[in-house]
Structure 1
Amino acid sequence: MRWQGVFYFILCLLTLPARADMLSSIVLGEAQQLVEIEPERAKYLAKNYLTQRQLSDAGEQSAASISREEADRTLRTPNGSVEAYRTLAQAEYTEGNIEQAMRYLARAQALAEKYKLYYLSLDLRLLHNELSWRHDKNYVRAQEELDAVEADLSSVNSQIKLTKTTRYRVLMQRAQLAAALNTPLAALDFFTQAKALLNPKQTDRTWIDYRVVLGQFYLGQKRYNAALSELLYAYWTAIEIDDGARLAKVNRQLADLFQERHVLDKALEYASQAADYYATYPNSPILAQVMEQMGKIYYQQGKYNLALVHYFNVLDHASTDRDLQQAIAIRQQLAATYLQLFNFPLAEKYLQRADELLEFADFPEQQAEAALLKSGIAYFKHDAADVISYAQSALNILDRLNDHSSFDRQSAYRLLALGHEQDGNTTLALENLRHYYTIVNQEQGVRNHISEEAFREQKAFAEQSLYFASQTTELGEVKQEYTKTRRIAFGLFLLTVMLFLMWIRKGVVSARQQIKIESLSRELYTHSRSKLRNLRMLNAKLSSSLRKANENFELWQQGELIHEPLNDRLRFAMIDLPFLRSTYIKHGYKSGLELERAFGAMLKQKMESPARLYHFSDANLLYIEPSSWSDNSAEGLFHKIQQWVNDFAKEHAISPIVRMGIADYPFLPRAYTAVNDQELLDLLLLATHIAREVSLSNKTSQWVHFKAIDNAPAASLTNGDIRSACKIAISQGLIKIHSSCQNEDQLKKILKNDEHY
């Protein structure tokens, strides 16, 4: 199939030694790695590189030019452009677009010649030659082109390393040509010469690539033990350097090797490992190939249902639709599997679809397979004429392909024998059966020869065991060092665990202490009876509120009633509740305590953030809320508090009288910090006193609101005694009294008769 040729071509490309100096962009390096695995992605990256960057005039490929290209993502060097076109050509060839691949190579060649990139020009000629002979099988022309390249190597003024690299590629390509011409001795000679050009200190990846190609060659020559030796070396080296892509390639080759040797469990093991890697690239055409191979292995094991699962996965893969030969082959394999399950309708369905696709192309191998399947179906239908006709048709196609020993040829003779037997012609049946056993015996002879060769090669393995003995000694020493290191590591681990446990214990203790501190803080700042916040102290200076506190509890717990003096807009209310003053005298301690706690719980339910409520003294509460609440009026605030008390009074038969003093912050509109926390409380207490006197005379709830006029000077309240200063400011009209009492004379009389003022 075409994919086998593509894979063989990719392996040859991998034999080129590491060329990190040639890939002038990280983007191109990534694209080159994806050529085989995900060609569509590789094409996308290469095209973006060409379209999004402008070609510079620099033709050199020095470290400085590469650095410039990476620094300036808008430029691309001629070297990078050639690499991009080369990557596009490889990706197109991988997808079977031969003509488009040749066009990209022509563009790359034109650039290389224009900028006198001689080494890249030779490199492109080698690639063009390889693509050509793998496509058209013109091996003579390919050899002539290789001769021309070798002749031109002497005229290239380049580094010795680059000349050796090109020489290496020429030899590897000659080896592939010799293998294609069925001259294995010549191929081995070229492989040996190519190996001599590799430096023993060459990168492990280069040696892996070389051994994978050599192993593939041995596998094609059915020298299974030699192939196994090369591929196992590549396998363990890939594991050692942790190269997933190369390990997946080796796994595919090992799966092919063990499948040919009919060691199907090992073949499935390596194929599964390869599938695990390629599954990370869902659009990779290689994933479909690996799944198809796993399906064939399951088919050979007789696990037809598992084979069907993998075949259907291949059928659903996007790459199958782009590869007509694979699309035909997978449907034929489905038909063969259903034939083994005696599901003839489905077998005929998929075979018919494969025949429809075969009309668009000339694939002799698939035509022979289709004829064999039709012959098999006819045999189960007891249609001897069709069995013989289709089997003979398959045999004729195999003759044209010069195939004299394949499994398909065995199947054709076997079906001819069965068809003639059904038709009653035993003479022809025996004749075809004789041909069948002749081919089987030939294959058995090959297997016997392989077994004899394997016996002779045991000597080589025995010699290698001597080397492994010395390696075993070194391994013992390494194990001792490893044991010592492991003990030290274990001791460090125990120490780390102990330190970790100590750190955890410290964290637990710290958490418990923090919980205890928070509990004590709540008790400290909570009134013992009502369970409301307890205003325990006030700072002497309001300016301390400007400092940012780092403590975990809020500023109000330290007595800061005003958090941000320059930004806060607050309304303060001192609430005097007569029933709290007399509740213990009237009801006793226990009942009074229950009543006060119930009142505190009710107030907590009524509170809405960010409003605050403090138990200031036995019968006085301090309430603070944003100025924007209560419809921006003192009367609205009073009615809200009065409603709370009324609701509680209905349930507990207490006096609902409320006396309230109200003041705003900032008190002086033109001097925000002129009045501090303590002074503001003094003003509230004075307002509450006035409301209390009015309430005692009227026997009703009262409120008094002190409000400074807009242009009240800061000096009006700075004579030392805030209460006296407030009285003077009221008499001067700097502070207005708003109250529920409409008798202004009564309010002035209370202020005048108060002996404290």
Structure 2
Amino acid sequence: MCLSRWLVGLLVILATSFTANAKIYTTPILADANELLQTSPDKSLEMTTRYLDQRRLSDPKELSRVHVNDETDHTVRTPLNTINALQIQARAFSLLNLPEEAINTVKKAEKLAAENDLSFTTLETRLIHARIYWDNLKNSATALRMLDQVDKEIEQSKALQLTKQVKILQYQSLLQRAIIESHLDDENKAEKLFIKAKRYLMNLDDSSEVINYQLTIGHHYLEHRHFDLALDRLLGGYWLAVEQEDSAKVARANFELANLFEQRKVFDKALEHATQAGEFFEHFNQTLPLAKTLALIASIYEQQGRFNLALVHYFNALDQENQLKHDIRSARLRLNIARVYLQLYNYPKAEQYLQHTRQLATLSNNEAIQAEAQILQGKLELAEGRTERAVSTLQSGLIAASRLGDLDLQLMGEIVLSAAFEQQNDYYNALLSQRRYEQLFSSKQEDQVKSNVEVFKQQQRMLERSLQLEEMERQRFESEKALYKQKNVTIFLLSFILVILIVLLRRHRVAKQLQTRLMRLRTEFYTHPRSGLRNLRMLTARLPNSLQQSSANFEQWHLGEIINEPLSDRLRFALFEVPFLKHIYLEHGYQKGLEIERQFGEYLKEQVCEPARLYHFSDAMFLYIEPNSRLDTAPDQLAGSIQQLIDNFLDNRQIDNRVRIGMAEYPFLPRAYTAINDHELLDILLMAANAARLISKKEPGSQWVHLSAIDAAPAASFASDNIRKACLQGIDNGLVKVQSSSTYDIIWNNDHDSDKNII
């Protein structure tokens, strides 16, 4: 069982190690559900629930890849896809502010991943678990402890460290740590973690995660009042999101930018970005971010003195928070409403909402809201003329604000308390309060000066970087100019090469066409028009030049060369006549005769195999050549083979099967290889074939005649311009041996006697 789990885990690691980019879902339903998380988490939750309900979990004991990562059967769900669905569900619950359901779901996913020994998916699920503890419960201790466990398991898993995908886990862990440390006001530690996370991010090649990183670190700088750095990061993330057309991240960037401009008192830009963010959240019915955005818009209107608009948006935000049942944010909104009513001199309404605020703050045990509510209560009592009660309330609120270290709240309390003492004509205490206010304000100014110094240093660094960028821009321009020239030269050279290539390709194409045409013409010229066999049309006086070629080219016989490589190869020649081809047209007609002759040619092509050769010499005569390593082989064997060829073709055909064969070997003179050339050898074969034809007139059946010079025959005996006469003289002198299938004497045709120029 352990081995099977190890194999399954290895398959998952291999499957996830092909890319270090964003997570890829093999099931379209889960991919769509994941896309909907940022816009409609409720729909994402509905899709994953339907996916889990409609499919059954496959058998975890199967070890095939289909079990791990693929779903060919739409009625089942693999363990990996089941875990992915549970992860999406948990994140959707988290976004819907349902932490209990989110934690229960992510625990199921973690358990299933551990049961199937999916190490990467297990760690990925634990990271989601830690994020839920922080995002929804703000439990930094538990979240950091879970992150420590993930980092420890990554270090201990050698197999996981070999994959590229582990960088995603390390990046997500570092980014989550940085967010927590930033919220815990450990700015330096958070900065270092953000820098380390960025190193991993550079290797991920994930544009969506780059946007998320920019917005996250921008929020960090904004929380710690590094406005210039925050503006740089948030604007970078905003334009990247616009370029990627990621509407969810554009809305998030708009909200952060609105916060930044609101704190910098740039209300028109803050209102513009907040309105755009609110439109997105309202369109996709995202209650929590919409409530925060409405509260931000209301705060902007309040600071602008547009109290009625501020009240409208505060009430709208309160409606959203009431749906979420979040007591702390509801208490904060009621406190803001009370403050606006106080500025509108509507004291009963202010008192009503302050009372609700104190109740909710007490239930949630939020000291900051309680302290601010007390100071605001004191300000209300002072406005109503209840000076003594106002002084007591303000003093209690200032003690709480001092305990919390809230400088802005102390400043507001001291200035109101000073005014209260002044109404009581207690100028001494009024002066003390005023001095405490001045001390606090001076301390705040010092902090602001330090912040301004830091901002100046940051601006100095940005200016230096801008100057460096200008210099780099100038160098880039020069490089581009040189590159442009080089590009023109390269284009010219490439164009020139392209023209040459086109010309060469055209020449090659034309040459290929001419070669193809030449081969076709040669094939047609060398091929007999009726039988389709090679013929001897190109037999010319220049053919003996081939006798000087190397013996290594024996297999490269060209059409028309009947003798090749005579210095090392012994050849046997047979010139045979097939009489039925002379009569087939007369007896059966032209079409039938043409068909039979073509079939006969195709038959001979099939039967004669390399290295033997066959030529169609004339209408009814064929020249057969084959290697002959032994000169003492009986000629009747070759004659019998040729007769067998003819018999097999004419089987079941009522056609004359007689054959007349003339045979000879090359070298005709064993002691003189080059004494007889192609033409002379053909003359000898024609003499022998003619003799066989004359014999067949006297005797029935096929006949053959074989001529061969004796071993001691001198080459000078055949040094004549008339090889036929020389051959007959050799027969008379006993230099040429005659073998025949007949016992009758052969009467030779003395056609050479009519040539008076023969010596």
Pair 1:335-2:331 in alignment = no
Structure 2 counterpart of 1:529: none
Structure 2 counterpart of 1:344: 347
Judging changes above 3 Å, is the alpha-carbon distance between structure 1 residues 138 and 205 closer, same or farther for their aligned structure 2 residues? closer
For structure 2, the 5+ residue unaligned runs are 1-18, 482-759
Pair 1:195-2:198 in alignment = yes
Report the alpha carbon displacement of residue 34 of structure 1 after superposing the two structures with TM. 4.5
Report the alpha carbon displacement of residue 133 of structure 1 after superposing the two structures with TM. 5.3
Distance in 2 (alpha carbons) for counterparts of 1:383 and 1:168: 58
Structure 2 counterpart of 1:218: 221
Residues 462-503 of structure 1 show CA distances to partners (whole Å, capped at 9, x for unaligned) of 3235536876998xx99xxxxxxxxxxxxxxxxxxxxxxxxx
Matched to 2:337, the amino acid is L
- Tell me which of 319, 333, 338 is aligned to 1:316: 319
Report the alpha carbon displacement of residue 244 of structure 1 after superposing the two structures with TM. 1.1
Structure 1 counterpart of 2:399: 396
Structure 2 counterpart of 1:44: 46
Question: Retained in 2: the 8 A contact 1:285–1:319?
Answer: no
Question: Retained in 2: the 8 A contact 1:46–1:85?
Answer: yes
Residues 112-144 of structure 1 show CA distances to partners (whole Å, capped at 9, x for unaligned) of 111111111112222333443566766566545
Report the alpha carbon displacement of residue 304 of structure 1 after superposing the two structures with TM. 1.0
Taking structure 2 as the reference length, what is the TM-score of the superposition? 0.55
Structure 2 counterpart of 1:81: 82
Report the alpha carbon displacement of residue 33 of structure 1 after superposing the two structures with TM. 4.5
Report the alpha carbon displacement of residue 226 of structure 1 after superposing the two structures with TM. 1.4
- Tell me which of 27, 30, 35 is aligned to 1:28: 30
Structure 1 counterpart of 2:120: 119
Question: Retained in 1: the 8 A contact 2:67–2:79?
Answer: no
Report the alpha carbon displacement of residue 295 of structure 1 after superposing the two structures with TM. 0.5
Question: Retained in 1: the 8 A contact 2:133–2:140?
Answer: no
Structure 2 counterpart of 1:259: 262
Pair 1:456-2:477 in alignment = no
Q: How does 1:315-714 map to 2 (within 5 A)?
A: 315-317=318-320, 320-358=323-361, 360-400=363-403, 402-405=404-407, 407-462=408-463, 463-464=465-466, 467=469
Matched to 1:348, the amino acid is E
Task: Name the SS for the 1:160 alignment partner.
Answer: coil
Report the alpha carbon displacement of residue 340 of structure 1 after superposing the two structures with TM. 0.9
Q: How many residues align?
A: 460
Distance in 1 (alpha carbons) for counterparts of 2:416 and 2:56: 64
Judging changes above 3 Å, is the alpha-carbon distance between structure 1 residues 322 and 315 closer, same or farther for their aligned structure 2 residues? same
Residues 528-583 of structure 1 show CA distances to partners (whole Å, capped at 9, x for unaligned) of xxxxxxxxxxxxxxxxxxxxxxxxxxxxxxxxxxxxxxxxxxxxxxxxxxxxxxxx
Question: Retained in 2: the 8 A contact 1:258–1:267?
Answer: yes
Report the alpha carbon displacement of residue 61 of structure 1 after superposing the two structures with TM. 12
Pair 1:293-2:335 in alignment = no
Pair 1:132-2:170 in alignment = no
Pair 1:178-2:176 in alignment = no
Distance in 1 (alpha carbons) for counterparts of 2:20 and 2:329: 32
Pair 1:109-2:115 in alignment = no
Report the alpha carbon displacement of residue 252 of structure 1 after superposing the two structures with TM. 1.2
Task: Name the SS for the 2:117 alignment partner.
Answer: coil
Report the alpha carbon displacement of residue 279 of structure 1 after superposing the two structures with TM. 2.6
Task: Name the SS for the 1:317 alignment partner.
Answer: helix
Distance in 2 (alpha carbons) for counterparts of 1:60 and 1:330: 56
Judging changes above 3 Å, is the alpha-carbon distance between structure 1 residues 467 and 378 closer, same or farther for their aligned structure 2 residues? same
Matched to 2:90, the amino acid is A
Judging changes above 3 Å, is the alpha-carbon distance between structure 1 residues 136 and 41 closer, same or farther for their aligned structure 2 residues? closer
Using CA pairs under 8 Å that are at least 6 residues apart, name the structure with larger relative contact order, 1 or 2: 1
Residues 496-539 of structure 1 show CA distances to partners (whole Å, capped at 9, x for unaligned) of xxxxxxxxxxxxxxxxxxxxxxxxxxxxxxxxxxxxxxxxxxxx
Report the alpha carbon displacement of residue 455 of structure 1 after superposing the two structures with TM. 2.6
Judging changes above 3 Å, is the alpha-carbon distance between structure 1 residues 100 and 382 closer, same or farther for their aligned structure 2 residues? same
Distance in 2 (alpha carbons) for counterparts of 1:289 and 1:221: 19
Distance in 2 (alpha carbons) for counterparts of 1:138 and 1:54: 35
Report the alpha carbon displacement of residue 184 of structure 1 after superposing the two structures with TM. 2.1
Question: Retained in 2: the 8 A contact 1:271–1:290?
Answer: yes
Judging changes above 3 Å, is the alpha-carbon distance between structure 1 residues 134 and 311 closer, same or farther for their aligned structure 2 residues? closer
Taking structure 1 as the reference length, what is the TM-score of the superposition? 0.55
Question: Retained in 1: the 8 A contact 2:227–2:260?
Answer: yes
Judging changes above 3 Å, is the alpha-carbon distance between structure 1 residues 389 and 470 closer, same or farther for their aligned structure 2 residues? same
Distance in 2 (alpha carbons) for counterparts of 1:408 and 1:18: 47
Matched to 1:207, the amino acid is V
Judging changes above 3 Å, is the alpha-carbon distance between structure 1 residues 201 and 77 closer, same or farther for their aligned structure 2 residues? closer
Report the alpha carbon displacement of residue 229 of structure 1 after superposing the two structures with TM. 1.3
Distance in 2 (alpha carbons) for counterparts of 1:119 and 1:271: 39
Residues 628-647 of structure 1 show CA distances to partners (whole Å, capped at 9, x for unaligned) of xxxxxxxxxxxxxxxxxxxx
Matched to 2:439, the amino acid is T
Judging changes above 3 Å, is the alpha-carbon distance between structure 1 residues 141 and 329 closer, same or farther for their aligned structure 2 residues? closer
Bigger shift: 463-472 or 279-288? 463-472
For structure 1, the 5+ residue unaligned runs are 1-15, 479-757
Judging changes above 3 Å, is the alpha-carbon distance between structure 1 residues 42 and 330 closer, same or farther for their aligned structure 2 residues? farther
Distance in 2 (alpha carbons) for counterparts of 1:204 and 1:450: 33
Structure 1 counterpart of 2:643: none
Q: How does 1:202-241 map to 2 (within 5 A)?
A: 202-241=205-244
Question: Retained in 1: the 8 A contact 2:322–2:330?
Answer: no
Question: Retained in 1: the 8 A contact 2:378–2:391?
Answer: yes
Distance in 1 (alpha carbons) for counterparts of 2:56 and 2:142: 37
Question: Retained in 1: the 8 A contact 2:222–2:230?
Answer: yes
Aligned-CA RMSD value: 3.4
Distance in 1 (alpha carbons) for counterparts of 2:209 and 2:341: 44
Distance in 2 (alpha carbons) for counterparts of 1:41 and 1:131: 19
Structure 1 counterpart of 2:285: 282
Bigger shift: 223-232 or 321-330? 321-330
Report the alpha carbon displacement of residue 448 of structure 1 after superposing the two structures with TM. 2.7
Distance in 2 (alpha carbons) for counterparts of 1:91 and 1:228: 30
Task: Name the SS for the 1:342 alignment partner.
Answer: coil
Question: Retained in 1: the 8 A contact 2:398–2:410?
Answer: yes
Distance in 2 (alpha carbons) for counterparts of 1:80 and 1:468: 51
Question: Retained in 1: the 8 A contact 2:97–2:324?
Answer: no
Judging changes above 3 Å, is the alpha-carbon distance between structure 1 residues 387 and 107 closer, same or farther for their aligned structure 2 residues? same
Residues 78-107 of structure 1 show CA distances to partners (whole Å, capped at 9, x for unaligned) of 222223322333333344433333222221
Judging changes above 3 Å, is the alpha-carbon distance between structure 1 residues 415 and 113 closer, same or farther for their aligned structure 2 residues? same
Distance in 2 (alpha carbons) for counterparts of 1:122 and 1:276: 37
Structure 1 counterpart of 2:573: none
